[in-house]
Each structure stands twice: as structure tokens, then as C-alpha cells.
């Protein structure tokens, strides 16, 4: 094995941010406080001045988005089966039913050409997913939503820093949920944010994220809605502030690395490559589909052999509707052939800002070696 192990992702946290976290720890105020407010203000600036409330996960952001949109029992919510399972789980959490629509095989995002056929009188919302940071076509999506009077809760967990036609994701639209998990382009270790339409929605998000509490004065407190424990800490927010300051730098580096992949990847291997979007995508991940029909082994063995070469590989994601929880709801293999085929063969190759061009070359060489060594 040549060289140090290269994981598929690694956060880049600078010394100034680490020092800032130490200052927060010494301050005596480590839960939600001034750093959270500063982070929310900075995020609002990124999102065109819209109100933003930070939370302890992107999952919490999606759930609060559904609740603020009024989605509940007997409602149907359309989403993609090719996503992290949280996208569908939050629909169940509010008592609604997830309805899946297959993905476009090129973009791997929700196939908008099939979306309207899935809308029923019970449909109240759509959760589009920007897989790997490639934005769903917002123009077509919102035209459909407006035509059918549907709410949109954007699962932009992977697309912070991406844009649609030059406007940052989050600067327009209905409700937009971000994730700041450790593997995201901007991280708070764990965390998320919800972009809202107005201050009324923002105040509701504040209540819902902390047990439904409303405060007035020194000793006035009331609870008039059922809330949750979804607040973000000041420690996490301080990490986020340091990360946000470097977003443009991180995005530029990711795009350069992605370009290098396209330059160095051998097309004769038979892998399916992502859409080469360098104007809008934030290149959260570089994902390829394996030519399993040509190989004498499966994806698990490919990953093991790549690890033996010193390369970490991820799987993002198996098709959600094939998990046991969703099979009992009636979903079956064959329902969404594109999502199933992609979910069974997709792998995530290393891509993070600390990588260099020679790391990409090393990954491409290892992929070629493993695939060529496994041809049936």
C-alpha cells in the first residue's frame, strides 16, 4: 500500500477556529448563546437576508420544516428514494406518508418529469434532494409546486454553497434545510439550519427547537406548542463561523478536484460519472457507479480492495424504499429501477479541500487497478 490512508472525506478546521472554540469553552457560555446568534446572522447574509435558525442536525431542520409547513397525519410527501434515510424518516416522524418518485439516471435527483403523476389529493409537500450537491432544477420544481399548491421543504443537506442560476441555495424558495454534519462542505461537527420565509416562521422555529418555550421578561415563560430539543451549542456555532468564512475557498478547491477527476478518470472502465456541473454544484461528493455486470465481485469487495490500496470509499446511498421499514409500507424492488440500480452500484470517492491533484491521480489509478483486476 503506497502512501498514507486517504479517507473519502475529512473536515478542514483551521487553528483560528480551534482557538475560537477554546475561547467559547473558557467563556462559561457553551450552549446556545451569542455564537449561535452570530452564526445565524452570517448564514442569513449568505441566504440573501432571509431568516435562518440553526439546529442540532439537518434531520431536525427537515422535521421542523415539515411541521412549520403544517404537514401531518393523512398527508403525503413526495421525495426521492436515493437519499440518506433521514429524508423519508422525518415524514414518518410527523405522521405523514412518504411517496417516492424515481430519479433521473443522469442527475440522480428526483425525476421532475415523473413528479406530477405521483401527486394525489393527499399530497401536501415535496422534499427534493440535491444529491452530492447538484441542485435540482428549481424553476421546474417550483412551477409544479405552485400549480398544485404544494409546500416545498428543500433537502439541501448536501448543497450548502451551491447555487441555482447564480443565486445561493437558500436565498430563494420555500423552506430550505441544511446539514453541517462532519462530512459536509461546512461543518459544525453536528448541526443544521432551516431557512425560513419570514420572522413569524422564525419565531415558531425558535419555539419548536427548544421545548415550545416562549419567554418574556426575567421570569415570564409559557409553552403553547409541543417542542423538541433541537438547539445548537455555541461551541458548534463557533466552528461553523470559522468554516463559513472559508466557504468560497472550499468550493473552489472542490471544483478543481472534481475537474481533475474528469481529466484523469479512464472512461474505458465503464463507470458512470456524475454531471460535470462546475457553475452550480458545490461538489459535496464525487460519486461513480461501478460496472458490476463486468466484474467478478460486488461493491463490497471493490471497497475492500480500494482500502487495501489505501483509499477510503463511501456508499451514498442504498435506495431507501428497500429498507425493511419501508418495505412493510408496501414498497418493493422494481418500483424505482433507476434509484435501485444507482443505489446498488454507487460509490463515493475521496474529495475534500485538503486533497491535492496527486491524491486524485492516486485514486483514479487505484480504481483502474481494482476494476481491471476484477473483470469477469
C-alpha cell at 52: 435562518
Mean pLDDT of the region 364-374: 98
349, 286 Cβ separation under 8 angstroms: yes
- pLDDT for the residue numbered 376: 84
Question: What Cα–Cα distance (Å) separates residue 117 from each residue in 82, 87, 120, 129, 140?
Answer: 19, 21, 8, 18, 15
Reported as a pLDDT band with limits 50, 70 and 90, residue 219 is confident
184 is catalytic: yes
Q: Choose the weakest-confidence range: 2-11, 57-66, 128-137.
A: 2-11
Task: Quote the pLDDT of residue 218.
Answer: 77
Mean pLDDT along residues 309-338: 98
Where would I find the beta strands (DSSP E) of the chain? 52-55, 76-79, 97-100, 123-127, 151-155, 163-164, 167-168, 175-179, 192-195, 213-216, 220-223, 286-289, 346-349
CA proximity to 205, closest of 245, 244, 232: 232
- Report the predicted TM-score, pTM, of the whole model to 2 decimal places: 0.97
CA gap 235, 246 in Å, rounded: 18
Nearest 5°: phi and psi at 356?
Answer: -120, 170
pLDDT value at 10 more than 60: yes
Domains of the chain: 15-244 (3.40.640.10), 247-372 (3.90.1150.10)
Instruction: List pLDDT tens digits, range 244-270.
Output: 999 999 999 999 999 999 999 999 999
Exposed/middle/buried for 97, CB within 10 Å: 0-12, 13-18, 19+? middle
Q: What tens digit of pLDDT does each residue of 58-90 get?
A: 999 999 999 999 999 999 999 999 999 999 999
> 320: closest CA among 309, 333, 301?
333
Q: Using pLDDT thresholds of 50, 70 and 90, give the confidence band for residue 1.
A: very low
Residue among 184, 207, 229, 369 flagged as catalytic: 184
Q: How many Cβ atoms sit within 10 Å of the Cβ of residue 4?
A: 7
In the chain, count H helices and then E strands: 13, 13
Q: Across residues 131-142, what is the average pLDDT?
A: 98
Q: What is the pLDDT of residue 2?
A: 60
Amino acid at each position: 500500500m503506497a502512501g498514507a490512508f486517504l479517507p473519502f472525506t475529512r473536515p478542514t478546521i483551521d487553528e483560528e477556529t480551534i482557538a475560537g472554540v477554546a475561547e467559547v469553552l473558557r467563556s462559561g457560555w457553551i450552549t446556545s448563546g451569542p455564537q449561535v446568534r452570530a452564526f445565524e446572522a452570517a448564514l442569513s447574509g449568505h441566504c440573501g437576508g432571509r431568516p435562518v435558525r440553526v439546529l442540532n442536525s439537518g434531520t431536525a431542520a427537515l422535521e421542523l420544516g415539515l411541521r412549520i409547513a403544517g404537514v401531518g397525519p393523512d398527508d403525503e410527501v413526495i421525495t426521492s428514494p436515493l437519499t440518506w434515510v433521514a429524508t423519508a424518516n422525518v415524514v414518518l416522524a410527523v405522521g405523514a406518508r412518504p411517496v417516492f418518485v424515481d430519479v433521473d439516471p443522469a442527475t440522480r435527483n428526483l425525476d421532475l418529469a415523473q413528479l406530477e403523476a405521483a401527486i394525489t389529493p393527499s399530497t401536501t409537500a415535496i422534499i427534493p434532494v440535491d444529491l452530492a450537491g447538484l441542485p435540482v432544477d428549481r424553476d421546474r420544481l417550483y412551477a409544479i409546486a405552485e400549480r398544485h399548491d404544494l409546500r416545498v421543504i428543500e433537502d439541501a443537506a448536501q448543497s450548502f454553497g451551491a447555487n441555482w442560476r447564480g443565486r445561493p441555495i437558500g436565498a430563494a424558495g420555500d423552506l430550505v434545510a441544511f446539514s453541517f454534519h462532519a462530512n459536509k462542505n461546512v461543518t459544525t461537527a453536528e448541526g443544521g439550519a432551516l431557512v425560513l420565509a419570514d420572522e413569524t416562521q422564525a419565531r415558531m422555529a425558535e419555539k419548536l427547537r427548544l421545548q415550545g418555550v416562549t419567554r418574556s421578561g426575567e421570569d415570564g415563560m409559557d409553552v403553547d406548542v409541543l417542542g423538541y430539543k433541537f438547539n445548537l451549542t455555541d461551541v458548534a456555532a463557533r466552528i461553523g463561523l470559522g468554516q463559513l468564512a472559508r466557504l468560497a475557498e472550499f468550493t473552489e478547491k472542490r471544483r478543481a478536484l472534481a475537474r481533475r477527476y474528469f481529466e484523469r478518470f479512464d472512461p474505458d472502465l465503464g463507470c458512470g460519472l456524475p454531471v460535470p456541473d462546475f457553475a452550480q454544484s458545490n461538489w459535496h461528493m464525487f460519486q461513480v457507479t461501478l460496472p458490476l455486470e463486468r466484474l467478478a465481485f460486488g461493491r463490497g469487495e471493490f471497497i475492500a480492495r480500494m482500502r487495501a490500496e489505501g483509499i477510503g470509499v463511501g456508499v451514498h446511498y442504498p435506495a431507501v424504499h428497500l429498507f425493511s421499514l419501508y418495505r412493510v409500507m408496501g414498497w418493493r424492488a422494481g418500483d424505482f429501477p433507476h434509484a435501485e440500480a444507482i443505489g446498488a452500484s454507487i460509490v463515493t470517492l475521496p474529495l475534500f479541500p485538503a486533497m491535492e491533484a496527486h491524491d486524485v491521480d492516486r485514486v483514479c489509478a487505484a480504481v483502474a487497478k481494482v476494476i481491471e483486476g476484477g473483470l469477469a
